[in-house]
Structure 1
Amino acid sequence: MVYTRKDKYPKTFAEFFAGIGLMRMGLERAGWQIAFANDIDPMKERLYSAHFQDDFPHFTLGDIHQIEEERIPTTTLATASFPCTDLSLAGKREGLSGKQSSAFWGFIRVLEDLGDRRPPIVLLENVTGFLTSHKGKDFEEALKALNSLGYRVDSFIIDAVRFVPQSRVRLFIVGQLESLMPEKLPAVSDDQLSLFYEGELRPKKLTDFILSHQDINWEIRALPKLPRNERLLPTIVDETPEDANEWWSQERVDYLINQTSEKHLRVIEALKNKSHYSYLTAFRRVRKGRSMAEIRSDGIAGCLRTPKGGSARQILLKVGLGKVKVRFVSPTECARLMGADDFNVTGSATEALFGFGDAVCVPVITWIADNYLTPLLNEINESLIAKKKELAAARQLADEFSKNQIAVESLESFISQNIEEISSFDNSNLKANFTELILLYNHRVHAVEIDKSLMIELPSNLTKEKNS
């Protein structure tokens, strides 16, 4: 049995693995309202609270495995951006059994414990490595876990570069309670599915998984094309004074440039001779045992990561007018790269970078809410209203039938008790006499003050006879 309300489901959500709250920012921009947030990291909780400054404390600090069901309010949507450490291609790929990513099962446990209060919609987010972790077994297991709780599932992939000047490819899963949806659409052929699925949102690797796992209870929805982003790297860069301490020493700059490939070195030299500044980004990576600086010069930043090591911090190069100036990407620039331009950045730079490196891109979430979650909620509410109308009509019909049946049975009983009198009616006087009988019956019902619904209305043909 699934929890339902008397009216309709509101646009409320519970945010698990909330981090610094960028999932919340994205949903609130689409008109959704926070009801609950949870994360295990006290540093992220401080950043979250410093930005939102809620009158009502939505944030519950603690391990998701330990949260009691009674502390979680009833909501329409639950979101989960669970840790990607064990799913990432850059990690050890321990999968959903790994120390960090196994937190997914804490989310499943919460949904299970909520029982009849289970949210109609869930939204999960993670790296695309989730799709291939343990040759797809982890992804399959996660989807089937949602199926077992009554959710049909859908999945798609979005690169944040469609919204901000950052390449950040993420996998999303949407689950919707089957019990609240209209009857499932008829099955279609694999060829039809392939034409429907493949595209930017569901590339071939995801389509192949869907087509090869038809035992999963899917509910694939058509989505509009992603927007075209015109915003490039210069639009998010801070105005940093030339003599600011953030800029690296020339010695450090030369060391970085010496770590670049010949191809990237030629790009830097060409831009250096321009009469204006250009902005590039770089990450340090180890290639064949050697530390290399990989430069990106297309006006797009690389994917922000948590600064767990020096190589994880993204580097900004300001090149032109005969100069090459270098510094790390700042926390406020990270906020803009995540579409959270107005985020109130507090704490140390390292704390802020940890917060943004683990977060979701705000406009991506808003787009999903506008084009998927809200339309889905509207369908659920429309279905709920239709079901309630059908139920009300059925109840009214049952009530009317019950009353009419009682009246008929009462009249039958009355006639049977007066059968001798009725048998004396002749055909010529039958209508008038039967009218008199019904009037007598109604008079007796009225006299003893029993349910007036038992009284029988004179048929129209008898009424005409009576009035003529």
Structure 2
Amino acid sequence: MLEFFAGVGLARMGFERAGWEVVLANDMAADKKELYEGHFGPSPHYLLDDIHELAEQPDQVPTAMLAHASFPCTDLSLAGARRGINQGQSSAFWGFMHLLENLGERRPPLLLIENVTGLLTSHSGADFQSLLTAMNGQGYAVDAVVLDAACFVPQSRPRLFVLGVRSPARGSDDIAALQPSALRPKNLIAAMQAAPGVAWTLSAPPDPPERGRVKLDEILDHPQDDSPEWWSRERADYLLNQMSDRHRETADRMIAGKRWSYGTVFRRVRNGKSMAELRTDGIAGCLRTPKGGSGRQILFQAGHGEHKVRLLNANECARLMGADGYRVTTRLNQALFGFGDAVCVDAVAWLAEHWLEPHAAALKAAAT
């Protein structure tokens, strides 16, 4: 398979878990390749190149059954001012489409494209429709699901996955008959039904595991009380005082508890003021790239009449992405940026097994 926008290789880990082999990886970020090779070892198949430049060199791309593309989400999120798929980093999608066009008949029979669910509403749905139409234009019938990493790990990370099949040997195109399900919530179905003239190949993968089965405290390290990872008392109290009344009441109950309990905190600006927002449902918030002062997730541990605060470390963030045991050989922020910009290993492995494999098997059978 081919892995575009490969980052630090978490999609590779998911595909390999499902029995796929990566024969080419591509990204333009040297710091992500450094992390990738720190974990996997020397990787001559990793091409460090801009996708727009690679599109003009199709001979560098080997023939494969599947291509996965997790193109930048920057301009599809609030952080990127919702500029959309035609601007900034998110316009890299068109470089990927151009590469497929230049591959000609060597285009992979299967595509899997991943991005944030904000793609569904970007430019009132026009960007999602443009993506689907572009895939159709390259000969792919399409399908789409939303899968949350919280089905596998204690992190809220819903992501949109769009499947492309060049020769749809199975499935249907009865888009009007779709009903809300664990993988196709109402907003996804509405976006799919609002895309006129799209060629679909709908299939019915099973429901994913129940969300929230794994809890935050199961993936945490437990540094000694005198570890420098813990914030000073003054800094921990300052965070506590940044909480709203509602969140402070929750924190106070945790502090008064007879056992340790855990929550995560992000700082957000509310009405021009920096606030600390506490989450205590056993699921961490979505990992982000650590840009600015609010991108890193904070652990809040409380009980026995006290509270302790520290940042989540690289190993914990790896576990939140389903990449337990990932060898981090770079500085911390570089690792956190790589994980925050990646796709959950378990989500990829599950989709590969339950969604991609049936299509791959049908394509192979049709070719014999």
- Normalising by structure 2, we get a TM-score of 0.97
Give the AA of the match of 1:66.
E
What CA deviation, in whole Å up to 9, does each residue of 1:106-129 have, x standing for no partner? Answer: 100111111111000000000001
CA displacement at 1:58 relative to structure 2: 1.3
Distance 1:189 1:90 in 2: 32
Alignment of 1:402-413 (within 5 A): none
Distance 1:217 1:139 in 2: 14
Aligned to 1:91: 80
Aligned with 1:50 (options 38, 53, 63) = 38
**Structure 1 residue ranges without an equivalent (≥5):** 1-12, 386-468
Distance 1:125 1:103 in 2: 13
Distance 2:129 2:162 in 1: 12
CA displacement at 1:89 relative to structure 2: 3.0
CA displacement at 1:323 relative to structure 2: 1.2
Tell me if the contact between 2:219 and 2:320 (Cα under 8 Å) persists in the aligned partners.
yes
Alignment of 1:243-262 (within 5 A): 243-262=226-245
Distance 2:121 2:63 in 1: 33
**Larger RCO, structures 1/2 (Cα 8 Å, 6+ apart):** 2
Distance 2:314 2:303 in 1: 24
Aligned with 1:203 (options 170, 185, 195) = 185
Confirm whether residue 27 of structure 1 aligns to residue 15 of structure 2.
Answer: yes
Distance 2:182 2:270 in 1: 30
Distance 2:148 2:169 in 1: 31
Confirm whether residue 169 of structure 1 aligns to residue 153 of structure 2.
Answer: no
What CA deviation, in whole Å up to 9, does each residue of 1:264-311 have, x standing for no partner? Answer: 111111111222111110000000111100000111100000000111
CA displacement at 1:189 relative to structure 2: 7.7
Tell me if the contact between 2:314 and 2:335 (Cα under 8 Å) persists in the aligned partners.
yes
Confirm whether residue 60 of structure 1 aligns to residue 44 of structure 2.
Answer: no
Instruction: Report the count of equivalent residues.
Output: 365
CA displacement at 1:209 relative to structure 2: 1.8
Aligned to 2:217: 234
Distance 2:348 2:169 in 1: 26
Aligned to 2:347: 364
Aligned to 1:41: 29
Aligned to 1:374: 357
Aligned with 1:128 (options 117, 121, 126) = 117
Aligned to 1:304: 287
Aligned to 1:295: 278
Instruction: Quote the RMSD (CA, aligned, Å).
Output: 1.3
Give the AA of the match of 1:61.
L
SS in 2 for 1:281: strand
Distance 1:342 1:188 in 2: 43
Give the AA of the match of 1:226.
P
**Structure 2 residue ranges without an equivalent (≥5):** none
SS in 1 for 2:178: helix
SS in 2 for 1:270: helix
Alignment of 1:213-232 (within 5 A): 213-228=195-210, 229-232=212-215
What CA deviation, in whole Å up to 9, does each residue of 1:347-388 have, x standing for no partner? Answer: 111000000000000000000000011111001111112xxx
Confirm whether residue 317 of structure 1 aligns to residue 300 of structure 2.
Answer: yes
SS in 2 for 1:23: helix
Tell me if the contact between 2:169 and 2:359 (Cα under 8 Å) persists in the aligned partners.
no
Distance 1:117 1:282, change over 3 A: same
Aligned to 2:3: 15
CA displacement at 1:182 relative to structure 2: 3.2
Aligned to 2:131: 142
Distance 1:346 1:202, change over 3 A: same
